[in-house]
Amino acid sequence: MIIDTHIHLDDKSYVDDLDDVIERAQTQEVKGALIPGADPKDLPRAVEICEKYDNIFFAVGVHPYHATDLDIEYLKSFASHPKCIAVGECGLDYYRLPEGEEAKIAEKQMQKEVFIAQIELAIELDKPLIIHIRDASFDSKTILIENDAKKVGGVLHCYNASDILLELDSHGFYFGIGGVLTFKNAKKLVEVLPKIPLEKILLETDGPYLTPHPHRGKRNEPAYTKLVLSKISELLNINEDRLELMINKNTNSLFKEFS
């Protein structure tokens, strides 16, 4: 059994054929999924999906691109739902910063405050974090450590495969590996992968984005999680079935709700 621990099934690109998407996932052994929060407007849709399908869960949170939309009370109103199992995806993304030095500093400051508020929410709710990091490894690591994110732990997703983040292993963090690993230019992630403890690897797609080879350019979907598993198995030279069992165990130790 494979769990896609990061898939935006609430995205509008899945509205028309979600039943087929779920069915295709099942045929590829992908039997569960976690929908991270990104745009708070999509939360009602995530709840709707989770109420319809077994073994699909969601998280409450705002992606750094939607940081200005943070409303903690709104997130809390969804957090008591039995299928809400995590907080995020929250974090720092310095890839698309505004022009001008002052504007850059203000944007970073705002993202940091919103990130910290969500770490505090996770601790209050006692739920693990889903962390988005892009071009902001050092600041993200510092914030996670200074704000005691260790109390709840979580998964690092979309990290730039930076050695800086490996240290977070000892702070209760798992590493979500996705389709980027199959890209021809995934040199950094390929280098970092063997340094990640095996018991800390999770699988994800981040669909509808970052579609793995050979489907690059098309919409990503949970069925492709299997391609990521195969690539890890090839790179680490571990039998795929054995690896699947190991990762399954990892997934369940962080997200106990999956059956």
Residues that bind Zn ion (CB under 5 A): 206
| Residue nearer to Zn ion on the CB measure, 4 or 206 | 206
Q: Which is nearer to Zn ion, 4 or 107 (CB)?
A: 4
For residue 205, the minimal CB distance to Zn ion (Å) is: 9
**Which residues are CB-contacts of 200 (< 8 A; sequence separation ≥ 6)?**
169, 173, 174, 175, 250
Q: Are 1 and 32 in contact (CB under 8 A)?
A: yes
Residue of minimal Cβ distance to Zn ion: 206
CB of 132 to Zn ion, least distance (A): 6
End-to-end CA distance of the chain: 10
Beta carbon nearer to Zn ion, 61 or 153: 61
Alpha-carbon torsion (138, 144, 148, 150), positive or negative: negative
> Considering the complex, what minimum distance in angstroms separates the CB of residue 257 from Zn ion?
19
DSSP character string of 91-111? EEE-SSPPSSHHHHHHHHHHH
Question: Shortest approach of Zn ion to residue 253 CB, angstroms?
Answer: 22
Least CB distance to Zn ion at residue 59 (A): 10
Q: Is 102 exposed, middle or buried (0-12, 13-18, 19+ CB in 10 A)?
A: exposed
Q: Report the residue number, 93 or 206, with the smaller CB distance to Zn ion.
A: 206
AA identity, residue 1: M
Measured from the CB atom, is 10 or 206 closer to Zn ion?
A: 206
